[in-house]
Amino acid sequence: MSDIKHDYTENEGNTGSILFGNKDQRDQNVIDNIDNVAPNRTGVNNNTEDNVWHEANRIVKGWESFPSHHSMRGRTRDIALRIAYIQLTQRRGIIRRDIQNWYGYNLDYARRKIYLLQKELGLLVPLKSRRIGKFQQYCISTELDKFKNEDRLNSVSASSVDGDEQEGQPMATLVRHLAATLSRRKPTFHKLNLYTELPRELYKDLHDWPILSPKNKAKVREFPLDYRRTIKFEIYPEGSTSIYMSSTANAYELHTPKGLIDFFSSLGEACSILKAESGDLRNIPEVASWKLKIFDKDKTISVSELEKDIPQVMRFWSDEGIRVEHLGEAFQIYGRVMPGTGPAFRIEAQSKVENSENVDLADAIIRETFPEIKFKTAFEMLQVRVEQLERKQISTNTSS
């Protein structure tokens, strides 16, 4: 199908919005007034409006940051910003009618544009459960989880009102599959806090490092290490140095030889940064002497992996999560959009390293990556108690 070009003039100064009533009226308002929902971004003085467009720009940049995506320009980027604007202001996806009214496209070209944005660019994905009249809704692919989560909450609320007693069954199935998958998977590490001591005189040599807190006078600087990995240093006047390694979307797989090499290579690069910034090649402590203090480890399971056995798994996906503190550790379970794999379930634990001052860094990493089993199951504990009582009873009978 050949491309059809049309002249287009934006409606300058159009900052109108739509007020919604019930669902039927809302759908009709959208269709009747669709050309009023993507206001021109020039000349807008309203702070709220500016904030919305700022957030829309953040969404578009977030989509572009994925390795498999490309930077957008011109008309394509303008469309992406308008889509993000509608998602933020009306909590819906765009429809073909939007494209037609924004740019004066005819029906065939608007349909083709949607196809190109979805199939070739990967910007759009259909919201299968959402339509406006006869029109299919589409959202930015990286925002799909938010619509899924909203649909899930609406579905759960509706089933609660209707007295649906089957709601717990899919959740029980999900929990069983999560438990089975988690038991087979090794954790990855994405936040690590280390500690070392630098010579006091090096503090003065860090001339360009900002002091964020006049109270503690720590000099703070953050550097990129690798794709979605950073290292941050907090250096205090007496030489105490905290080192924060962050790799939330590109975690370190310390249970494999390659992962360990990758991790210690990052630490070596961090050490080189300190040497370069301070201009001292001799007095920076070697990586092996750094101490591991706190770390976050997680097990992440993509939704697409679970959907094979639980088609309705996205109904339970949520980025809100829950947090539980138990026996000195903080556990979190939440949903997260991961680069490449999309929505995923993540179970995360934050732990402190016991006796870290007396443990070498390599030993601490290995110990925390392959921990010994510390707790017995309730059944095992009960069985031990039963055996103790039986032995006590036999001993009492023998004595009597």
Using pLDDT thresholds of 50, 70 and 90, give the confidence band for residue 169: low
Q: Which two tokens stand for residue 55?
A: 């957030």
Kindly state whether residues 115 and 190 are assigned to the same domain.
Answer: no
**53: Cβ–Cβ under 8 A, 6 or more apart, which residues?**
41, 44, 81, 85
Kindly state whether residues 38 and 133 are assigned to the same domain.
Answer: yes
Using pLDDT thresholds of 50, 70 and 90, give the confidence band for residue 82: very high
- Say if 85 falls within a structural domain: yes
- Given a contact cutoff of 8 angstroms between Cβ atoms, the answer to whether 233 and 276 are in contact is no
Average predicted confidence (pLDDT) for the chain: 76
203-212 long-range Cβ contacts below 8 angstroms, 24+ apart: 203/235, 203/236, 203/237, 203/239, 205/278, 205/279, 205/280, 206/235, 206/277, 206/278, 209/235, 209/277
pLDDT at 138: 93
- Given a contact cutoff of 8 angstroms between Cβ atoms, the answer to whether 219 and 209 are in contact is yes
Q: Which amino acid type is present at position 72?
A: M
d(CA 21, CA 157) in angstroms, rounded, equals 20
Region 202-225 average pLDDT: 91
- Given a contact cutoff of 8 angstroms between Cβ atoms, the answer to whether 224 and 288 are in contact is no
d(CA 283, CA 289) in angstroms, rounded, equals 13
Q: β-strand 291-302 against 229-235: which pairing, if any?
A: unpaired
Name 58's bridge partners. none
Region 355-376 average pLDDT: 71
- Say if 356 falls within a structural domain: yes
**pLDDT tens profile 303-324:** 877 777 777 777 777 666 666 6
- Report DSSP state, residue 319: S
Kindly state whether residues 250 and 145 are assigned to the same domain.
Answer: no
Which of 375 and 229 is assigned the larger pLDDT? 229
Kindly state whether residues 43 and 137 are assigned to the same domain.
Answer: yes
- Say if 390 falls within a structural domain: no
- Say if 5 falls within a structural domain: no
pLDDT of residue 21 exceeding 70, the answer is no
Kindly state whether residues 215 and 304 are assigned to the same domain.
Answer: yes
Using pLDDT thresholds of 50, 70 and 90, give the confidence band for residue 23: very low
Using pLDDT thresholds of 50, 70 and 90, give the confidence band for residue 287: very high
- In the chain, the number of structural domains is 2
Strand, coil or helix: 229: strand
- Say if 353 falls within a structural domain: yes
- Say if 86 falls within a structural domain: yes
Kindly state whether residues 191 and 337 are assigned to the same domain.
Answer: yes
The fraction of the chain above a pLDDT of 70, given in percent, is 74
Region 103-115 average pLDDT: 90
Minimum mean pLDDT range among 27-36, 152-161, 303-312: 27-36
Which of 96, 78, 98, 92 lies closest to 146, judged by CA?
92
Domain that holds residue 316: 183-369
- Say if 224 falls within a structural domain: yes
Kindly state whether residues 187 and 147 are assigned to the same domain.
Answer: no
pLDDT of residue 163 exceeding 70, the answer is no
Kindly state whether residues 131 and 38 are assigned to the same domain.
Answer: yes
**299: Cβ–Cβ under 8 A, 6 or more apart, which residues?**
182, 185, 186, 187, 188, 346, 347
Kindly state whether residues 216 and 151 are assigned to the same domain.
Answer: no
3-state secondary structure labels for all residues of 232-254: EEEECCCCEEEEEEECCCCCECC
- Say if 385 falls within a structural domain: no
Kindly state whether residues 150 and 198 are assigned to the same domain.
Answer: no
Kindly state whether residues 351 and 227 are assigned to the same domain.
Answer: yes
pLDDT at 239: 92
pLDDT of residue 7 exceeding 50, the answer is no
Kindly state whether residues 265 and 215 are assigned to the same domain.
Answer: yes
* Distance spanning both ends of the chain, measured CA to CA: 98
**pLDDT tens profile 317-361:** 766 666 666 555 667 777 777 776 778 888 888 888 877 777 788
